[in-house]
Homo-oligomer: A and B are copies of this chain.
Amino acid sequence: MPNNFTEFPLHRPELLETLRRGDRLLTEAMSQDRKRSRKGDEIIRASERCDTIYRLEAGWVCRSRVLDDGRRSIVTVFLPGDLFGVKSMLSTEPPDAVVALSNVTALAIKHDRLQQLFAAEPSVALRLAFQLGEDERRLHNYLIALGRGNAEERIATMLLELHGRLLLAGITQNGAFQMPLTQQEIGDFTGLTLVHVNRVLRRLRENGLATVDRRTVEIHDLPKLHRLALPILDTFQRTRPEFGGGRQQLWH
């Protein structure tokens, strides 16, 4: 564990600068080792030990598992600015793979170098802890969405969540963004079939909430979308600026 802090940013505005600093330092340290992957590539293979941590520069990446009978599940989606492979530092080989959803560039750093780095620079450790915390919070939210949400709530939640994260990463404004997911992949992520994903998307379009057309998402009525997803959203997503009001960019 990082020895220098036990707190978290965003609800602790005074740490925001430290967090940004950690991200900047980390990015610099990684900037020599840039790795490209093409859509569909396995960046980290399932059950293969990996001694590298990545920072996604451009493109989308997911952690997914394919069941024997062909069912597929996407556990998490990583967006530009996210670190992935972090818990490979402390846990076992994962039973699932990290796959590029689009063409991707990522910066890489080996565990041992990283450890030197954040021994010297607490802000980098903050950045890592932030990533772990966010990953887990998202995981909990998706678990609740899958367990208790219906199809509309799940998809609305997904759109809002991705939108909010892209805003924080400074990649998008005013409700439009690129989403390199096929409807099949949206289904793998939300636990639905592609047919049903399609119908829900149509409904959202017909009701003027949002359109998802060929990799492009446009959110037309954020408040309504928000209301739809509301029961599923956690307390932070309800009040956080990026889900409606003002905004606050983290990096990029």
Contact = CB atoms under 8 A, between A and B. Distances in A.
Contact of A191 (B129, B146, B232): B146
A195 interface: no
Contacts of A235: 46-47, 95
A142 B63 CA distance: 14
A232 B65 CA distance: 10
A208 interface: no
B1 A147 contact: no
Nearest to A146: B146
Contacts of A94: 137, 140
A136 B132 CA distance: 10
B73 A137 contact: no
Contact of A92 (B137, B139, B191): B137
How many copies of this chain does the complex contain?
A: 2
Interface residues of A, number: 60
A90 B9 CA distance: 10
A89 interface: yes
A95 B51 contact: no
B132 A87 contact: yes
Interface in A146-182: 146-148
Contacts of A133: 87, 90-92
A206 interface: no
A143 to B, nearest CB: 6
Interface stretch (A24-32, A34-42, A111-119, A213-221): A111-119
Interface string A62-106: 010101110111010000000000010111111110000000000
Contacts of A47: 235
13 contacts: A1-B89, A8-B91, A8-B93, A10-B92, A63-B140, A65-B234, A75-B144, A90-B132, A91-B132, A95-B140, A95-B234, A139-B140, A147-B188
